[in-house]
Structure 1
Amino acid sequence: MASAASLAAEERTDAAPAIELIDISKSFGPVQANRDIHLTVQRGTIHGIVGENGAGKSTLMSILYGFYTADAGEIRVNGAPASITDSQAAIRAGIGMVHQHFMLVEPFTVLENIILGAEDGPLLGPSISKARAELTRLETEYELEVDPDAVVGDLSVGLQQRVEILKALYRQADILILDEPTGVLTPAEADHLFRILGFLREQGKTIVLITHKLREIMAITDAVSVMRRGEMVRTLTTAETSPAELAELMVGRRVLLRVEKAAATPGPVTLDVRNLRLVDAQGVERLRSVSFSVREGEILGIAGVAGNGQSELLEILAGMRAATSGEVLFKGRPLDLRHTTNADDRRVLGIAHVPEDRHRRGLVMPFAQWENSFFGYQYEARFGGPLTTLNRAAIRDLAREGIERFDIRPPSCDLKTANFSGGNQQKIVLAREIERDPHVLLVGQPTRGVDIGAIEFIHQQLVALRDRRKALILVSVELDEIQALSDRILVMFDGRISGERAAGTTDERELGLLMAGIDPTARGAA
């Protein structure tokens, strides 16, 4: 006698696909974002969509979720034609979407965010009571535990993502679209998310996963579609492909899935950090007597779970945050650590900074690419200096050079920065900072939300800067990136250095233990 699970599987096989996109096309002015796209997603599966930044993945899913209207084509949901003119129509069709940048109201509680836009009437009491009961059921059924009364702004990124998933399930979504869901997660949070997605699939949900991380595609998806330059290149069964094949289909050429670099030959100390402490406004000690140095011609990687002091460390070194005590020497000269307005002075010295959050700290999103290409350096003489009119021609020439050298797409210096994909936004920031040939580059999360081809390019640029005898401090939550790029690795835990390792002498397990504050060389360590 067939089991319930096998009968369910047979039913899904015989049923119409969960999603069919037929001849979907979409243009934004002269830019063709999607061209004659065909996509079929089977019910009860996890279907990956990969492609370079700007390939049209997010645009295609935004059409499915009703944020954009296609210029041409047809959408079918569970075999029936669907008119999805806005997100409410998508929700009514059983489609939910978890965006790369969460759509949550941070001062609201989890429960308030869940019911926002889905209230039963003008009186919130009945809606909240109903939502609390339903939330308890969903948390139990799908292993998505989160405190319903917690303020969202106080939650970790991983828990905020659970809230987004719960929002979609509360609205009875059977199809979930996740856009770069692990871009801001630690490895442990990403592993937990995959367990949740696997459980959702077991319960019959259909999941569309947009990601640039091929390891995740291979680990969790049943099928994968590859997009390139707005077109659908191919759809494959995941078990029958490989990361190398997917990377080549994405980029249109062979891609190195490793970082090629010669052994470092470090020179004199460029930046020397001594007993750096930071106590924040709430009295919490964020940095605890942190000491290290970085030499010219080396990449110093700093690993750690987000929230253990790495961000504050970069901000102090970049002149964006004052230190409580300690000393930092740049080529033997002490830096002013007392004020938060020294970022300009750091740039003059040759200390460049690629911030971890490009949206809040690296770019002015409504401004054009050419305007963002010189921010922070606007007082340089070639741009007109502080007392004269800006030399727009020189700035635009610089912007075009950055577009060409860093392969920024689309190649328009007049396009608003908000209209570039996340990876191309990151290239705009990197071009601005690297092209100054700084003595020190502070770089946080250099490839967050970036596709495989752009990752390869960014890694090459960082190694090339090292080989020009520059010093780099790299902060990343991606352990494989830390291991591939770094010549030395520091690990931070609870605001202090928990360990240091030379490149090639450690592995992910050892680094993971150090990230948890456990010295694996100590007696009794796991």
Structure 2
Amino acid sequence: MTNVLELRGITKRFGALTANDDVTLTLGEGEILALLGENGAGKTTLMNILFGHYAADAGTVRVFGQDLPPGLPRAAIALGVGMVHQHFTLAGNLTVLDNVMLGSEPLTRARSARGAARAKLMQIADRFGLPVNPEAKISALSVGERQRVEILKALYRDARVLILDEPTAVLARPEAMRLFETLRDMTKEGLSLIFISHKLHEVMAASDRVAVLRGGKMVAERETAQTNPAELAELMVGRKVERPARHDHKIGAPVLVADKVRVEEAGARRLDDVSFTVHAGEILGIVGVSGNGQAALGGLLSGLAHPSAGHLMLEGADIGHLGPRGMIRAGAGRVPEDRHAEGVVGELSLWENAVLERLRTPEFSRRGFVRRRAARDYTATLIDRFDIRGAAPDTRTRLLSGGNMQKLILGRVLTNGPRFVLTNQPTRGLDEGAIAAVHAELLAARAEGAAILLISEELEEAVALSDRIQAIVKGRLSQPISANEADPQRLGLMMAGVWKEDGDAA
């Protein structure tokens, strides 16, 4: 197999941190290579060097036999390298065609060649099986459709090597499977692909070869057909990884009760007469395909949305009117869906984020002044207890990997002794080791009597952690079932809206 890409001896440092340490990697023509590693292992840094976002401190990159100048994305694009980032870089107020063309024409051109660009886009979309409406506004597209546009944007620039950073992090499983079918077809058209992923079942299903980074070093390469998920998980973290098991125990009294709650937004009904109960020492799982009301439910339980009908009660007190601060004071904690946008302020330090929701309490403030020493000591305790790696209390939070950022948020919530905890997609984008750590913390909180509502699009996660499960479809909730009785077929039917209407879910 001819190599289309060669990285030799790549080293990259950020101050005292060595993100990539003498990494060598090759990619063959028509090959799908999975780049695997823990959060913070250096995968995205390595791909950013390849695409020219970063310049390596040592080492060389060759694309189709030519040396790639360091730190020049335009040079990478010219040699046929395209990159689809984990967090999309699309302008929501522009059309698909506008986004694809953006930056592809010289500023000196008198008129934009939209007709030719539209024809080229449609030809590429047809060739690679990526149907798209070029005149649709990005803001009106689903997450899966937006990712399709990102891929088309790279192909429009004649990419022959395509890098995809966590391509399924925000996709439901059916969308993810369709994406990988498309990627496999694309290799038949001559493309070579590298995708970064934490999801071992996707790596096994979609790749030809797997390269594993750990601590910035290349520790292993395997032919996919000659390995298995257990071996890959152990290579990733350097030890055997087992997710903790939920054990049956006595469930306590009701803590959070929703009774026929309705939430409306801009005239549209987002939650439609939903009822549920979460007991002390219980995890109630909410499963469903993305976009069926999970965001509205998360907003309701965080104090960001309020019922237009029905009642939301926490230990007998009506909390439906409370905002985020009031919910926290009432004893509700939250692990939000988007840790970057809603969970932390990236430019603030760890200690500032750790006390952000409790800044006005006597523990961390006195006479209007922040007790910085107390805050730093508290954060050091969180770092130690929740194994937040590569950080000190004064570290800027945006420098944390996704898994360590999630551990910070979990620690901030759970050490406050909440009576109720909302966990919304708690392991999205995390590696196997971080997933096991998050699961262990949630089960420990359950054992200590916390009432936990888990919103997850990962069925295996919901079944493993939950005592009972309800499905959400178009803003409505199914009857609850015991997780011990759940199987993929039954959950699939529930997520499709097939359930009995013989009473209110409770």
How has the CA–CA distance of structure 1 residues 135 and 499 changed in structure 2, closer, same or farther, with 3 Å as cutoff? farther
Q: Does structure 2 retain, via aligned residues, the 8 Å contact 1:24–1:71?
A: yes
Q: In structure 2, how many angstroms separate the alpha carbons of the residues matched to 1:253 and 1:125?
A: 59
Q: Does 2:149 align with 1:149?
A: no
Matched, 1:220 2:218: no
Letter in 1 for 2:487: D
Amino acid at match of 1:420: L
Root mean square deviation, CA, Å: 1.6
State whether structure 2 residue 96 is matched by structure 1 residue 91: no
Which amino acid letter does the alignment assign opposite residue 300 of structure 1? L
Q: Which residue of 2 aligns with 1:68?
A: 54
1:480 is matched by which residue type in structure 2? E
Alignment of 1:107 with 2:93, yes or no, is yes
Q: Tell me whether 463-472 or 302-311 shows the greater mean CA deviation.
A: 302-311
Identity of aligned residues (%): 44
Asked if the contact 1:20–1:41 (Cα under 8 Å) also holds between the matched residues in 2, the reply is yes
Q: Give the Cα separation in 2 of the matches to 1:112 and 1:209.
A: 26
2:176 corresponds to? 190
Instruction: Choose the corresponding residue for 1:504, options 458, 469, 484.
Output: 484
Please tell me whether residue 229 in structure 1 is matched to residue 215 in structure 2.
yes
CA distance in 2, matches of 1:423, 1:84: 29
Quick one: distance in 2 between partners of 1:520 and 1:225? 47
Is the contact between residue 281 and residue 446 of structure 2 (CA under 8 Å) also seen in structure 1? yes
State whether residues 47 and 223 of structure 1, in contact with CA within 8 Å, keep that contact through their aligned partners in structure 2. Answer: yes
Q: Does 1:316 align with 2:300?
A: yes
Structure 2 partner of 1:353: 334
Match of 1:280 in 2: 265
Q: Does 1:326 align with 2:298?
A: no
Question: Which residue of the other structure, out of 108, 112, 126, is the alignment partner of 1:140?
Answer: 126
Q: Deviations over 1:88-124 (max 9, x none)?
A: 1111111111111001111111000000010255558
Matched residues in 1 for 2:497 and 2:439: separation? Answer: 29
Q: CA deviation at 1:189?
A: 0.9
Corresponding residue number in structure 1 for 2:359: 378
For 1:328, the aligned partner's letter is L
Structure 1 equivalent of residue 13 of structure 2: 27
Q: Structure 2 matches for 1:75-474, cutoff 5 A?
A: 75-122=61-108, 126-256=112-242, 258-281=243-266, 283-335=267-319, 337-338=320-321, 342-385=323-366, 387-474=367-454
CA distance in 2: counterparts of 1:426 and 1:130, whole angstroms: 46
Matching residue within 34, 37, 41 for 2:23:
37
Quick one: which amino acid aligns to residue 343 of structure 1? P
Give CA deviations for 1:11-68 in whole Å, capped at 9, x if unaligned: xx2x2x1211111101101111110111111111110011111111111111101111
| Partner SS state of residue 381, structure 1 | coil
> Partners of 2:131 and 2:22 in 1: how far apart?
41
The DSSP-based 3-state class of the residue aligned with 1:480 is helix
Deviation of 1:338 after TM superposition, in Å, equals: 3.4
Contact 1:264 1:487 in 2 (8 A): no
- Residues 131, 275 of structure 1: CA spacing in aligned structure 2 closer, same or farther, 3 A cutoff? same
Using the TM superposition, give the Cα deviation of residue 264 of structure 1 relative to its aligned residue in structure 2, in angstroms: 3.4
- Give the structure-1-normalised TM-score: 0.93
Q: What is the correspondence of 1:474-489 to structure 2 with a 5 Å cutoff?
A: 474-489=454-469
Aligned-partner SS, 2:363:
helix
SS in 1 for 2:74: helix
Q: Is the 8 A contact 2:280 2:449 kept in 1?
A: yes
Number of residue-to-residue matches in the alignment: 502
The CA deviation at 1:80 is 2.8
Given that 1:44 and 1:204 are in contact with CA atoms closer than 8 Å, whether structure 2 keeps it comes out as yes
Secondary structure of the 1:382 match is coil
> For the structure 1 residues 376 and 24, does the alpha-carbon distance in structure 2 shift closer, same or farther, using more than 3 Å as the test?
same
The ranges of structure 1 where at least 4 consecutive aligned residues each deviate by more than 6 angstroms after the TM superposition are none
Instruction: Please tell me whether the aligned partners of residues 354 and 408 of structure 2 are also in contact (alpha carbons under 8 angstroms).
Output: yes
- Check 1:499–1:141 CA distance in 2 against 1; reply closer, same or farther (3 A cut): farther
Instruction: Provide the C-alpha distance between the structure 1 equivalents of 2:108 and 2:148, rounded to a whole number of angstroms.
Output: 27
Q: Write the deviation string for residues 296-334 of structure 1: whole angstroms up to 9, x where unpaired.
A: 011000001122112211211221212211101111122
SS in 1 for 2:136: coil
Counterpart of 1:3 in structure 2 is none
Q: Find the aligned partners of 1:473 and 1:510 in 2 and give their Cα distance.
A: 20
- Secondary structure class of the residue paired with 1:198: helix
SS in structure 2 opposite 1:376?
Answer: helix
Give distance in 2, aligned partners of 1:122 and 1:489: 59
Query: In 1, are the aligned partners of 2:335 and 2:422 still within 8 Å (CA)?
Result: yes
Distance 2:485 2:427 in 1: 24
Asked if the contact 2:355–2:375 (Cα under 8 Å) also holds between the matched residues in 1, the reply is yes
Cα distance in 2 between the residues matched to 1:118 and 1:97: 15
Identify the range of structure 1 (115-124 vs 209-218) with the bigger mean alpha-carbon deviation.
115-124
Tell me how far apart the structure 2 counterparts of residues 166 and 135 of structure 1 sit (CA, whole Å). Answer: 7
| Gap regions ≥5 residues in structure 2 | none
Note closer, same or farther for the CA distance 1:298–1:47 as it changes in structure 2 (3 Å cut).
same
Q: Is the 8 A contact 2:166 2:195 kept in 1?
A: yes
Q: Which runs of 5+ in 1 are unaligned?
A: 1-12
Distance 1:94 1:407 in 2: 41
User: Per-residue deviation at 1:450?
Assistant: 0.7
Are the aligned partners of 1:120 and 1:127 in contact in 2 as well (CA < 8 Å)? Answer: no
Which residue does 2:45 correspond to in 1? 59
Query: Is residue 65–residue 97 contact of structure 1 (8 Å, CA) maintained in 2?
Result: yes
